[in-house]
Amino acid sequence: MNDLVPGIRIEGEVNYAGQNIYAPNVDTTWLRKQIGMVFQKPNPFPMSIYDNVAYGPRTHGIRSRAKLDEIVEKSLRGAAIWDEVKDRLKKSALGLSGGQQQRLCIARALAVKPDMLLMDEATSALDPISTSKIEDLATELKTEYTIIMVTHNMQQAARISDQTAFFLLGDLVEFGRTETLFSTPTDKRVTAVAENAAYILSTLGYPERTAELARIAGYLHDIGNLVNRVDHSQSGAVMAFRILDNMDCDPEEIATIVTAIGNHDEGTGVPVNAVAAALILADKSDVRRSRVRNRDMATFDIHDRVNYSVKKSQLKINEEHTLIKLLKLSVDEVRLLSWTISRSSWGGCSSVARRRRRWACSSS
């Protein structure tokens, strides 16, 4: 399909059944039989419900009316829509509701008996009831097909997937069993802020549950970037509230977490509680080259330059618990920044004050 996009350029390979699907000698008709596709927006053909499902089998040479009838019924049953359309198969598919159209598209994909089904945010344009039906259908179909679903809904991924891959700006961050990835992720890009926030509070003697709330806030703190970098702390707080509320978390703990997330950005936030203060410090200690998304060094801003220069960063608290050595950086021939914040600035964690910045020259 990308071949029709003006100026399209494809690099690398995508291999299926030992073949690069972008190779010029690949039979696209064969490929589309092996891999079914369901798009974000339902796209039934402007023809009858019957002809929509029979289109693929006819393309592959099936002409027998009895065989086509069998395939159409089996596919519509497989997509859990047969009972809703069996009496109007000759009517236009465009007259169906959005949810019905999406299930029809799934039936159309199943009609050619694919090995794999790709679902590109297949429920994002649907109402909650239709979304639930598609999720139930996917859960049933995964016993017979390999299904790869793209979703921005973390709860949906947790509900219906066996394995989850987490991508960030095009890079694969982590892949594993769903329950493991959501409960105990291992990639530093996912866990660094969460673990540092919990470390700060645990080391300073806060209750273990408070440290755990800081860990949760650290894990969710940048979720708002899914919407936009601008005001991402506020949008992230709203998103985190919905997630935690749907999980029936304690309301007081939800309030602590979302206020910390909503106040973690240095431009607008303030450390309104211990969790918020720990989150701010942990977030600012997360300095590393892998955070730089801009590939053009000539256009680096100050954040890009600092992150790109850092080879290693550590957050440590001294033995007396009077100083948090916020950043101890190992850098490539640039200034070494060490922020220290006195314990007295916590004062019930109502403010982060009395900052001292020490600059020293260092090279690796």
Residue 126's pLDDT is 85
Strands (E), 121-221: 146-150, 163-168, 171-177
Query: What is the DSSP secondary structure assignment for residue 290, as one 8-state letter?
Result: G
Give exposure, 172-184, as e/b (b: 16+ Cβ within 10 Å).
ebbebeeeebbee
Instruction: Dig out the tokens for 313 from the structure.
Output: 């960063």
How far is the C-alpha of 119 from the C-alpha of 137, rounded, in Å? 12
Residues 6+ apart with CB under 8 A from 272: 259, 260, 263, 349, 350
How far is the C-alpha of 248 from the C-alpha of 59, rounded, in Å? 50
Neighbours of 115 (CB within 10 A): 12
Residue 152's pLDDT is 85
What is the average per-residue pLDDT within 273-296?
82
pTM: 0.60
Q: Residue 160: which of 184, 140, 174, 180 has the closest Cα?
A: 140
CB 111 within 8 A of CB 71: yes
CB 247 within 8 A of CB 226: no
CB 273 within 8 A of CB 256: yes
Residues 6+ apart with CB under 8 A from 340: 323, 324, 325, 326, 356, 358
Residue 329's pLDDT is 55
Q: Residue 56: which of 82, 26, 33 has the closest Cα?
A: 33
Q: Is the pLDDT of residue 298 over 50?
A: yes
Three-state secondary-structure class, residue 205? coil
Cα Rg for the chain, rounded, in angstroms?
26
Residue 337's pLDDT is 40
Residue 343's pLDDT is 41
Residue 129's pLDDT is 87
pLDDT in tens, 103-114: 999 999 999 999
CB 159 within 8 A of CB 246: no
Residue 325's pLDDT is 61
What is the average per-residue pLDDT within 54-72?
93
Average pLDDT score, the chain: 82
Residue 87's pLDDT is 94
